[in-house]
Amino acid sequence: MAELILEVKNLVRTFGRRRAIDDISFTLERGSVLGLVGQNGAGKTTLIKHILGLLRAENGSVRVFGLDPVADPPGVLSRIGYLSEEGDLPLWMKVEELVRYSAAFYPGWDPKYAEELQKQFGLSSDSKLGALSKGQRARAGLLCALAFKPELLLLDEPSSGLDPVVRRDILSAVIRTIADEGRTVLFSSHLLAEVEQVSDRVIMIDGGRIVLNDDLSNIKEAYFRIDIRFEANQEVPPTLPGSIHWEGKGKDWTVIWAGDQSALTSAVCALKGRILTNRGVSLDEIFVAYAGGCTQ
């Protein structure tokens, strides 16, 4: 088994009465890309704050590279490249100052790579960060997260509000990071098409709990969107093993369904229904099915 970069066990976090994280457990192996998805307020950022050691586990434990990020911040943070939606950059600095400032923090800073990225991103040394466009600021943040070749790249909603060209730069950075052997990526996003494009594994969080945690290819092979016509009007969504979410009324219903195809036709027949279409689904559709309620 590959080395575990991340090990979260039975993590709980409450804010007042609300359980922001409600008994979450998962692991992340070296060399893979994990996509973390969930609605706003589902608990993604709270989870990431625990990984960065900014929050102490109320219950359960968090280990990054086998270390406790709260007990050993330098041991953990010096190995994580972090980029958040906000960027958190000192806006009064010039690009060259930011580069010098960041380089001082990380022993593994690679000046040649930093220079290469700066050129590729079209960031001129004497531009003030505060005067840059949102996209260029995101690229500056990305440069800092990448230039010390971190073992774990942690991106929290990196693409929010950015144009497609910058988003592509970010995704390419994810790809190049993972192509360098032994490096790992965790990124959270609500742009599910991006998650589908680059992830090995997907964790979906809803209401502080994990509702889905699997290899993306397994997910794609297990979930279907099925249109069914019933002989009689259905007042409530029918009961069908494996159904996640129903939509429809009268005789025509659509279900997001997961399971073994061979059992499906007879199960639908038993309900006096007929399958009209049956196709694979995007992560977006699965997400809406889980988040949209009406779960059986």
Nearest to 214 by CA among 258, 171, 246: 258
166 lies in the site for another protein, by CB under 8 A: no
265 lies in the site for another protein, by CB under 8 A: yes
CB neighbours of residue 131 within 10 Å: 10
CA distance 221 to 232: 31
Only segment of 1-9, 78-86, 152-160, 166-174 that touches another protein (CB under 8 A): 166-174
DSSP 106: -
Question: What character string, x for contact with another protein (CB under 8 A) and - otherwise, covers 178-197?
Answer: xx------------xxx-xx
CB-based contact 46:36 (threshold 8 Å): no
Structure tokens at 159: 């693409």
Select the residue interacting with another protein from 162, 216, 255, 291 (CB under 8 A).
216
123 lies in the site for another protein, by CB under 8 A: no
CB-based contact 170:158 (threshold 8 Å): yes
Question: What character string, x for contact with another protein (CB under 8 A) and - otherwise, covers 29-68?
Answer: --xxx-----------------------------------
Question: What character string, x for contact with another protein (CB under 8 A) and - otherwise, covers 221-250?
Answer: x--xx-------------------------
CB-based contact 212:204 (threshold 8 Å): yes
β-bridge mates for residue 211, sequence order? none
Question: In the complex, which residues of this chain contact another protein (CB under 8 A)?
Answer: 31-33, 168, 171-172, 175-176, 178-179, 192-194, 196-200, 216-217, 220-221, 224-225, 265, 274-284
